[in-house]
Amino acid sequence: MSRATYSVSSAQSQLPRLIKEAEAGDAIAISRRDVTVAYLLSRDHLEAIVETMEILANPAARKAIEDHRAGRLRFVPLRALKRADE
């Protein structure tokens, strides 16, 4: 993912094109006086960020991730699991 930076006034004048770039996966930084004040992201990118934050905010999920990284989890193929109605 590339990241371009535009001034507020430049972003305003090019907004339709910048939205298309964001939809294509680029993160667009918007700055005022050489300080980034906002980002323009695609809906998919923002939803992925929110989902990641929700997972990391869940203590049980965080523990499962830590256990996986430490090699304390064992995965089995889905076909090895019995269906509840069988």
Can you tell me the mean pLDDT for 37-54? 95
- Residue ranges of domains in the chain: 3-41, 44-73
CATH topology for 3-41?
YefM-like fold (3.40.1620)
Pure H helices in 1-86 = 8-13, 15-23, 43-57, 59-69
- Give the CA angle between residues 14, 30, 40 to the nearest 5°: 75
State if pTM tops 0.75.
no
Q: pLDDT tens for residues 50-59?
A: 999 999 999 9
Q: What is the pLDDT of residue 77?
A: 82
Q: What values do phi and psi take at 38, rounded to 5?
A: -165, 165
Query: Per-residue confidence at 85, pLDDT binned at 50, 70, 90?
Result: low
Phi-psi region of 52 (alpha: psi -120 to 50; beta: other; left: phi over 0): alpha
* Calpha distance 62→72 (Å, rounded): 13
7, pLDDT greater than 90: yes
25, pLDDT greater than 60: yes
